[in-house]
Structure 1
């Protein structure tokens, strides 16, 4: 975040330098307010570009076998441009390459989900996914893994048939 602040200041200084050049070329006929206006627009432009490119940059840095299963687009009143083109400031990735099948029921997989949010550290949350019954739950010490053919308990959350986590994990493991 410190580097982003430094880059924002330098973007403002660079834009102010362009305004100074315009004033020099116009022999000081261009208004003086152009310098702070260009500085402000330069910093704002850099921040907008940085926020829009954050998701693609982070997703491209994920290791092989970690796939994005959900990207959350956001709109905000203080970012009016986000109503035209929503920003992705959070996303969830699943480590399907290192997912482990349950020894008792091979339709049940333990997978790590990573929650990424702009300007925050990533959080790892272990999840248990039942591929046949299309359900998931949090991994806890008290979790009872159902035997093959047995229904899941009420602690499990049903997933849609086309849920990205289910597709990424279960189709990859079936191969």
Structure 2
């Protein structure tokens, strides 16, 4: 967190320095307010870069066997540029090396963990165990003791990437 603050300050000083240099080159024909405005734009540019590169930076830290199954892109009115280029605020991952397949009563059952990452002031990550019946495409979450919670079961779309990664 401190390093991000220092980098934002450095971006502000760099942008302000360029604006000050441009002001000197113009023989002070540019208005004085251009320097603090450039500093603000430097901070804003750094923040936008960090938000848009978050997905790639976070995904790069995951093992090669991790497969992204969902990306959540959320526009926000206080970030008007996200309506043009949506911001990736979260994603879900399955580690393909950790999927356990079993056969029960002639049906294929997969046990796996779904990892969810959310971009926020302090980034969040959660993991949840699941059972997926590949025959009926019913997804059942597991509790902390790895016991199925059938009351929370839901139907999973067979066309979803999660189904394709886990069952194929």
TM-score, with length taken from structure 2: 0.88
Q: Secondary structure at the match of 2:124?
A: coil
- Does residue 76 of the first structure (1) align with residue 76 of the second (2)? yes
Question: What is the root-mean-square deviation in Å for CA atoms of aligned residues?
Answer: 1.9
The farther-off stretch of 61-70 and 102-111 is 102-111
Q: Distance in 2 between matches of 1:65 and 1:133?
A: 26
The farther-off stretch of 134-143 and 102-111 is 102-111
User: Are residues 56 and 21 of structure 1, via their aligned partners in 2, closer, same or farther at CA, if it must alter by over 3 Å?
Assistant: same
1:29 is displaced (CA, Å) by 2.2
Counterparts of 1:1-175 in structure 2, within 5 Å, are: 1-102=1-102, 104=104, 107-118=108-119, 119-140=122-143, 141=145, 142-143=147-148, 155-171=152-168
User: Are residues 103 and 133 of structure 1, via their aligned partners in 2, closer, same or farther at CA, if it must alter by over 3 Å?
Assistant: closer
2:73–2:89 Cα contact (<8 Å) kept: yes
| Large movers: runs of 4+ above 6 Å | none
2:51–2:87 Cα contact (<8 Å) kept: yes
Structure 1, unpaired ranges of 5+: 145-152
Higher strand proportion, which one? 2
Structure 2, unpaired ranges of 5+: none
| Alignment size in residue pairs | 163
1:102 is displaced (CA, Å) by 4.0
1:154 is displaced (CA, Å) by 5.6
